[in-house]
Amino acid sequence: MTSSSTILIVDDDAISRRILSQSLDKAGFRSECVSSGQEALAWLGKHQPSLVLLDLVMPPPDGYAVLRMIRETPRTSELPVVVLTGLDAEEEVSRAFDMGADDFVRKPFKAAELIARIRSQLRLRQYVVALARRERDARVVLELTQSLSSTLDFRDILYTVVQRIADVARVDRCSIVLVRDEGKVGYVVAASDDKKLRDLPIDLVKYPEIRRVLETGEPLIIDDASTDPMLDVVRSEIPATSFRSAVCIPILFEERPLGVLFLRSRTPHRPEEQELFLARTVASATAIALRNARMMQSLREQTRESTYARFEAERRIRALEPYADFFHASADGIVVVDRKGSVLFSNPRARELLGVTTFDLGRTSFFGWLVPEDEKRLRAQLAALLAEEGIPSSRHRRTTDVEILAGGMRRMIAVSIAAMGTEEHDEDEAILLTFRDVTNERATERELTKTKEFLERMIDSSVDAIISADMKGNILLFNRAAERIFDYRANEVIGTMNVRDLYPEGVAQEMMRRIRGDAHGGPGRLEGYDTNVLARGGVPLPVMVSAALIVDQGVPVGSVGVMTDLRDRLRMQASLDAAEEELRSREKESLVAELAGAAAHELNQPLTSVLGYAEIIRRRARENLPHIRETEALAHEAERMADIVRRIGKITRYETKAYVGEAKIIDLERSVPSEDGGDDGKGV
């Protein structure tokens, strides 16, 4: 906050000063306190407050003396003064008003009343200042308008105009810059800091602020030229001691720009609204005066054959000189053609690419080397470029691919086109064509495109899910198999989901740890890793993952994972396990049967002997042998054992046959397979 918005408190009583200062601070005012009339006069000699709170009763010089000095000093004569007094005498108050006080407050005062009276005086002061400023501006406008309409030397009048505007707007320089119709050159016809300056040509390419105002027809304010982005392209050419802030006001006549009123300051300065209004009013009056005095025509006639031609020639020479050696040494072909395509200039590389030794100027057309379809396209682009209107920067360089017939071969070249003429629609305007052979590059691009398309189709056709992400985990690739497994569409996850969202907590980090650990000494990949992933809704699914880092010039830039759905494989494995278990069970049963058959086979011979001998003994026992009972018991047990063997034979596919009497034994001949590998025809 500056001193002009400060309230000066003059009071010899410390308590009063403190109370006054606190009241002002609460109301949002800044205050400065002094304790005597002498200090007040010294402070006012260096500062300009917005209001003075003055105590009348003080040691000499008292408040009356200070008030008299304030009113007698021209710089402070209009300063609002509110007096403070503890005196009840009406004559003291009348005396204060007679000496120039604007208001008074009795002590002890109420803070609300004091603040209200201060605000009232400040508002009144603002009204007075505004009225004075308007009156001053009106006088300036009247003075300048009368000057512009006079018949005196018009250039002297323009100097007077810019001088007065510089004073009123408080800027370091005010100048009038006029322009030719759609031209690239401006003319400084008057400047406030140089009375002798007239018709100074300037290259508008170096003044983007002036070009902007001429394009839009609207005022432009640059608060700080050192940081404004509009001036980035020319900032290196702006001296460090140059102007810091600027205002451009268009000089318009019937909505057509004739030039600008250019105000500049060496320190950052933003003009007030009233100052801008004054500048625009004067600019309008200047436009009318310029048109009435036919100033533009006079300037055109005076400078067309001398200043403009000299300046334009020098500008073009300066622009082309640095490039002469470059054209000849350039690795790109460079030709200059006229509007019809006739070659005016060619560098060695251009002749080499086109397969000729020299150009027959005036008869050779650059379009003669192009294939017919590309000739039409390039001619159309040249016509469009030459037909563009506006400032020179709008006629931008364009690049296109065309085919040429050189040395009996078709070659692809990339051609850049730029206009070189001094004026739009100039019949002598030249076109700069730069080109280079891109046949191999375009062939490589086509092969890369085919390879890319093939890889995309292969990825989409894969039965395994393929997912790729950057190093932050943002998903970049999600093929159709991934859509099927995870039940997400690709557009739902690419750019919106993180690859960690597809795994249970911590699984993705563990996989990356394994990959990075492998990367320290190996290729940075993970193979055959069985884990679970999370489909839509958090449904866990078993998969086998193979993953790897994507490395660019030794730096990991992403990762790719291939996931095989294990659900069908696990179901098949479960079925195989059940079948294998059943087979093992059946094998056990078969083994038991084989063991039983083998036992029956081994028992067959001794059992046959026992039964035979038991029958002999039984027959003899009938002749009153002493051990007939034991013999009967032996035969009975042998018979029971034969029955057991017969049962085992039925279980194990072995059969029995009659032996002695009604006894039956195992028929080993029928129980064993035949020599031809089959049964004996009866079966089991």
ω into 108 cis (within 30 of 0) = yes
Is residue 1 within a helix (H) or strand (E), and if so which, with residue range? none
pLDDT value of residue 669:
45
Q: For residue 207, which phi and psi values (nearest 5 degrees)? A: -130, 75
End-to-end CA distance of the chain: 121
**161: Cβ–Cβ under 8 A, 6 or more apart, which residues?**
144, 147, 148, 176, 190, 282, 286
pLDDT value of residue 376:
83
Which parts of the chain sit beneath pLDDT 50? 1-4, 151-152, 295-296, 299-300, 303, 305-306, 309, 313, 317, 360-362, 389-395, 422-427, 519-521, 654-661, 663-684
pLDDT value of residue 141:
56
Q: Is the dihedral of CA 122, 128, 130, 133 positive or negative?
A: negative
* Listed residue (237, 249, 244, 280) closest to 265, CA to CA: 244
194 three-class SS = strand
pLDDT value of residue 649:
66
Q: Provide the 10 A C-beta neighbour count for residue 182.
A: 13
pLDDT value of residue 422:
46
Is residue 250 within a helix (H) or strand (E), and if so which, with residue range? strand 245-253
Angle between helices 273-292 and 154-169 in degrees, nearest 10: 170
Cα angle 156, 160, 166; round to 5: 145
pLDDT value of residue 295:
47
Q: Which domains does the chain have, with CATH numbers?
A: 3-132 (3.40.50.2300), 149-313 (3.30.450.40), 330-443 (3.30.450.20), 462-565 (3.30.450.20), 571-671 (no CATH)
Quick one: the chain helix, strand, coil %, rounded to 5?
50, 25, 25
* Listed residue (206, 263, 269) closest to 232, CA to CA: 206
The predicted model scores a pTM of: 0.35
pLDDT value of residue 671:
43
Does residue 92 contact residue 36 with C-beta atoms inside 8 Å? no
Residues 26, 41: Cα–Cα separation, whole Å: 26
Q: Provide the 10 A C-beta neighbour count for residue 653.
A: 15
